[in-house]
A and B are shown apart, each in its own frame.
Chain A
Amino acid sequence: MTAKTLSVAAALAGAISVAGMALSLPAYADNEKCYGVAKAGENDCANEAGSHSCAGQSTVDYDGGEWQLVPAGSCEEMGGSLEPFEGVNPTPPA
């Protein structure tokens, strides 16, 4: 038995005993908040999307204008990420 197989075996044995003491799956359920990623029920066409298409036909049509849009959202709240586009993107890509 080489030293390497021995150390892997020892680590595995150690991990098993640690996990055995605290096999704590339920603990994870309230360890960290999870943003709902639920997409179930998205297969509708009657809510926001429907009203959008009826009420906002002119705004839906971005055409050429969309390419000049500059990202503006929460990045501005996150100090570091503001810098790459401070002010307004002066040269919007064609």
Chain B
Amino acid sequence: MRCVRTLRSAMLRDFQRAFRRDLLGDGDGDLAAFTGMAPDQAARRMRIYRNNVQGSLAGVLASAFPVVERLVGKAFFRAAARAFVERHPPTVPQLSVYGADLPGFLAGFPPARTLPYLADVARLEWARIEAYFAGDAAPLDPAGLSSIDPADAAGLTFRLHPAVRLVASPFPVQRIWQANQPDHGTVSKVDLQAGVERVLVFRPAMTVLAHVLSAGDFALVQGIAAGATLGSAAAAAIEAEPGFSLQQALADHFSRAIFTDAA
């Protein structure tokens, strides 16, 4: 009895593995052995499954990365998505988190080599997705800090809102993103040589927004994100950008509601 059960579960496991191989790859037809069908018939039926799975996953990716899709065109995107799905099948039964690996995949995807900024645009799009789905938290009320002893100001640490993301790229990714919005009226030229762009993604009032930060401001938020004190994050900011204004940056960030706590 026990032997039979073991045998059956072994068969089930083999069957599931073969099914998965067929579903995600180009199937080698070994499913026929389990079904008793002729190999070509099994393969033909399996193709329906495969196209459904791969087609819907490609659709999920297209809706998460609309700018990437626009940049490369639908045919290219679909082919890239299919290659991605084969190599990075979903690991969590939740489509809203599917696609996190696409930026890295695109960075090493040979056919996309002619668009060196593509992976970073994808990173920005994914940062927006993460910001969209991140948990909520009440923003810090800066008035609560007004009673702080000036001697303690430099030792303050801030907690960032869960939706805050930072994306830095050697390419003007935010401008590329903006130029490729459906409601972006005029066709705009984006100068790819414009240099590094550092983007803050945040979500005040439940709306995902992105703002390009200066080098100093980016270093400040990066430091704060890493748990640095205000004093050392500010020092890093000034090192990155000699004319950096801490007051201006903090005032902006307070109104962007990117902090939830200070301690």
Residue B250 interfacial (CB < 8 Å): yes
Q: Are B146 and A38 in contact (CB under 8 A)?
A: no
| CB contact under 8 A between A73 and B153, given known A16-B143, A85-B115 | no
- Among A12, A72, A80, find the residue whose CB has the most chain B CB atoms closer than 10 A: A12
On chain A, the residues within 8 Å of B117 by CB distance are 81
Could you tell me if A71 and B128 are in contact, using CB atoms closer than 8 angstroms? no
Residue of A nearest to B172 (CB): A80
B69 adjacent to A13 (CB under 8 Å): no
- Chain A residues near B227: list those with CB within 8 A: none
Binding site for B on A (CB under 8 A): 1, 4-20, 22-29, 31-35, 37-40, 42-45, 47-50, 52-54, 56-57, 60, 62, 66-75, 77-81, 84-85, 89, 92-94
Name the residue on B nearest A40 (C-beta): B96
Instruction: Please report the C-alpha to C-alpha distance between residue A12 and residue B79 in the assembled complex, in whole angstroms.
Output: 51
Partner of A33, one of B51, B54, B181, B189: B181
- The dominant DSSP class at the A interface is helix
Q: Complex formed: what's the CA distance from A45 to B58 in Å?
A: 11
In B49-90, the 8 Å CB interface with A consists of 51-52, 54-56, 58-60, 63-64, 66, 69-76, 78-80, 82-83
Chain A hits for B255, CB < 8 A = 19, 22-25, 27-28
B24-57 with Cβ < 8 A to chain A: 47-48, 51-52, 54-56
Interface contacts (Cβ under 8 Å), in number, total 234
Question: Contact between B111 and A67 (Cβ–Cβ < 8 Å)?
Answer: yes
Smallest CB–CB gap between B111 and chain A, Å? 6
Asked if A14 contacts B247 (CB within 8 A), the reply is yes
Once A29-B205, A29-B207, A78-B188 are accepted as A-B contacts, the answer to whether A84 and B116 lie under 8 Å apart by CB is yes
Q: Mark B138-157, 1 if CB is under 8 A from A, else 0.
A: 01011101101011011010
* 25 sample A-B contacts, Cβ–Cβ < 8 Å, listed by A number: A5-B154, A11-B246, A11-B247, A12-B153, A16-B146, A16-B250, A17-B146, A25-B205, A35-B181, A35-B182, A35-B183, A37-B132, A37-B208, A38-B132, A39-B96, A39-B132, A54-B51, A56-B51, A71-B72, A71-B115, A71-B118, A73-B70, A73-B71, A74-B180, A78-B176
Q: Which residues of B contact A22 (CB under 8 A)?
A: 255
CA gap between A70 and B5 in the complex, in Å = 52
Residue of A nearest to B79 (CB): A66
CB <8 Å contact, B191 and A80 = yes
Residues of B within 8 A of A70 (CB): 76, 111, 114
Q: Which residue of A lies closest to B52 (CB)?
A: A53
Asked if A15 and B254 sit within 8 Å, CB to CB, the answer is yes
Whether the pair B51, A60 counts as a contact (CB closer than 8 A) is yes
Of the residues A16, A37, A48, contact of B128 by C-beta under 8 Å: A37
Chain A residues near B187 (CB, 8 Å)? Answer: 77-78
Annotate B103-136 by CB proximity to A: 1 below 8 A, 0 otherwise.
Answer: 0000000111111111000000100110011000
Q: Residues of A contacting B199 with CB < 8 Å?
A: none
